[in-house]
Amino acid sequence: MPKPHIYVERTLAVIKPDAVHHADEIEDIITQNGFSVLQKRKVQLTPEQASELYSEHFGKMFFPSLITYMSSGPIVALVIAKDKAISSWRELIGPTNALIAKQSHPDSLRAKYGTDDQQNALHGSDSFTSAEKEIRFFFPDSIVEPISIGDSAKS
Ligand code: RTP
Ligand code: MG
């Protein structure tokens, strides 16, 4: 009889250059919040790669400094999974502007590790479509692995 499969939502988390020195601590917080880390990669983006990742913001006033920031040092990209992973991760990192996060969401990760409206420590995909696109950007060979129910003792 075929085994039943359950598909858990996944998203892309990025620890940005300003927070990479806290990567181990942040990964612990990720798992403590019920996410599974499926894949992880430390890379330094070229300005061209950073422009591709943030192409939706091309032409905006902050685009050039965003690209300089995102290519200024190593980053850690993680594929993380749990029920409602996309919205849960965005909730855990908090508002885009770390200064606002410190006021309104003091327990959020951007409040804890970020500095201002640009240096905000963490990225999270904002939709299913961007999550899949961004996961492919960092992990081109990534495939959706089904998790089999009742099969944990054998795998
Ligand atoms: P992210 O894509 O990094 O998860 O951030 P987000 O969705 O919360 O915010 P988004 O609007 O997509 O902005 C992307 C990144 O650009 C920088 N930013 N700078 N100076 C500014 O006004 C400004 N606004 C945005 C931030 O690093 C932000 O995370
Ligand atoms: Mg965004």
Please give the structure tokens belonging to residue 9: 């939502």
Identify the pLDDT of residue 148. Answer: 52
ipTM (interface predicted TM) = 0.98
pTM of model > 0.80? yes
Residues 6+ apart with CB under 8 A from 1: none
Identify the pLDDT of residue 154. Answer: 42
Q: What's the pLDDT tens digit per position in 75-100? A: 999 999 999 999 999 999 999 999 99
pLDDT averaged over every residue in the chain: 93
| Annotated catalytic residue 123 | yes
Identify the pLDDT of residue 155. Answer: 39
Residue 9 CB–ligand 1 contact under 6 Å: no
Ligand 1, atom 4, lies closest to the CA of 123
Please give the structure tokens belonging to residue 51: 């422009």
Residue 118 CB–ligand 1 contact under 6 Å: yes
Give the distance (Å) from ligand 1 centre to CA of residue 127. 15
Q: Which ligand places an atom closest to the C-alpha of 114? A: 1
What is the per-residue DSSP string for the chain? -PPPEE---EEEEEE-GGGGGGHHHHHHHHHHTT-EEEEEEEE---HHHHHHHTGGGTTSTTHHHHHHHHTSS-EEEEEEESTTHHHHHHHHH--SSHHHHHHH-TTSHHHHH--SSS--SEEE--SHHHHHHHHHHH-TT----PEETT-TTT-
Question: Which ligand 1 atom is the nearest neighbour of the CA of 119?
Answer: 27
User: Cβ distance 11 to 80 under 8 Å?
Assistant: yes
Please name each of the domains of the chain with its CATH number.
5-145 (3.30.70.141)
Q: What's the pLDDT tens digit per position in 110-125? A: 999 999 999 999 999 9
Distances in whole angstroms, Cα of residue 39 to Cα of each of 31, 60, 79, 85, 139: 13, 31, 5, 14, 8
